[in-house]
Amino acid sequence: MKILVPIDGSEFSKNSIDFVTSRATLLGHNPTVELLSVQAAVPSRASNLVGSGALKTYYDEEAQIVLEPAVQALKKANVNAQSRFAVGEAAPTIAQVAEDTEADLIIMGSHGRSALKGLLLGSVTNAVLALSNKPVLILRNKPAPANDSLKVGVAIDGSKYGEAAVQYILKNHDLFGDNAEFHLINVVSDYSGVVMPDMAGMALPTLNESEVRSMQKEAFEEAVGPIRGGFDKAGYATKEICLVGNPGDEIAAYAKKEGLDLIVMGTRGYGAFKAAVLGSTATRIAAISETPLLVIQA
C-alpha cells in the first residue's frame, strides 16, 4: 500500500503520524509511506533577490523542521518513510503528488468545523477532496486506535458510492485488522407525515406504524442486501444496523455511542465544480464527529 501523508507540523498532522504508527503491522508487506511538506512560494520579487540556490536551501530547511520528527517517529515504529517537499498551493500540490506517486491512500488531519460554524472541513482537506480521486482518511482529535482490529462503521445507502466503499474494504482488509468488526449502517426515513394518495389523487390518512416499519424494513434490505454477500464470502464479522432519521446525525451519534474506530463511506466523484465536494451526509459526519472518516470517491 502506498500512503501519502501531508504534514505541516500542526497537532492535526501529528494525528496522521500517530495513525500510521498504530497501524504499522497492518499496512501489508513493505508499505510505502511518503511524507510531504508543501512550502508556500516566496514572492517572485524576493526570490529574484536571493537566487535559486539560496531559495532551494531555504525551502529544504523549512521542510525538514516538520519532516524530520515525523520520519523519526515512524522509524521507531519500524515504518520506513520517504520524505519530500514541494512548493506551491497546498491542496493542488498534494493532489498532484498523490497522482504522480500513484498513492493508494491520503491521510490528512483536519480541524473540521462545528455544526454552528458551517459544515465545512479544513480548507486544505476540502480542496484535496475536490482535486483528487484518491481515497482520503480524515483524522480529527480522536486518539489513534489502540487495538489492531478496528470497529468500523460502513455507511450503506444502496448507491454506487456505498458500493465503492464496500469494495475498498474488501480489497484492503489488512488495514482494518484480522478480527475487525464491520457495522453495516443504513439510515432510513421516519416517513413522518407521509400520506398515501388514492387513485383520484385525494390524500388518504397518514401511514400507520406497521406500514412505516414495513417500508423501513424494505428500504434497509434494498440497501444492505446487495452487499451482504461480499462480507459473508470473505468471512468478515458484521453487524447490520438500521437507524432512523437524518443520516449524518444518526451515523455520527452511533459512532460515538458504540465507540467506532473508523467510519467508511463513499461519496460522489471529485471535481472543482461539484458543489461542496462531499455529499451532505459525509459533510455532516465530518463536521460533527470526532471519529476518523475514510472517504472513498466513486
Separation between Cα atoms, residue 143 and residue 21, nearest integer Å: 12
**Predicted confidence (pLDDT) per residue in 159-206, tens digit:** 998 999 999 999 998 889 889 999 999 999 887 665 555 544 555 556
* CATH class held by domain 2-297: alpha beta
Picking from 156, 169, 111, the residue whose alpha carbon sits closest to that of residue 290 is 111
**Predicted confidence (pLDDT) per residue in 94-113, tens digit:** 999 999 999 999 999 876 54
Separation between Cα atoms, residue 156 and residue 153, nearest integer Å: 9
What are the cell numbers at 126?
A: 476540502
How far apart, in Å, are the Cα atoms of 298 and each of 42, 71, 109, 176, 237?
36, 32, 22, 21, 25
CA angle 35, 89, 38 (to 5 degrees): 25
Going by pLDDT thresholds of 50, 70 and 90, the confidence category of residue 275 is: very low
Residue 31, burial from CB neighbour count under 10 angstroms (0-12, 13-18, 19+) = buried
Going by pLDDT thresholds of 50, 70 and 90, the confidence category of residue 250 is: very high
pLDDT of residue 175: 87
DSSP 31-68: -EEEEEEEEPPPPHHHHHHH-HHHHHHHHHHHHHHHHH
* Average pLDDT value for residue range 275-284: 65
Specify whether the CB–CB gap between 252 and 114 falls below 8 A.
no
pLDDT of residue 194: 58
Q: Where are the domains of the chain?
A: 2-297
**Predicted confidence (pLDDT) per residue in 5-44, tens digit:** 999 988 888 889 998 888 866 666 667 899 999 998 887 7
Q: Which is more confident, 139 or 120?
A: 139
Percent helix, strand and coil across the chain, each rounded to 5? Answer: 45, 25, 35
pLDDT of residue 122: 65
- For the entire predicted model, the pTM comes to 0.85
Q: Which amino acid type is present at position 197?
A: P
pLDDT of residue 118: 36
CA angle 294, 295, 298 (to 5 degrees): 145
Going by pLDDT thresholds of 50, 70 and 90, the confidence category of residue 225 is: very high
In the block, which residue shows the cell 458500493?
Answer: 163
DSSP 115-166: GGG-S---HHHHHHHHH--S-EEEE-SSPPPSSSS-EEEEE--SSHHHHHHH
pLDDT of residue 195: 52
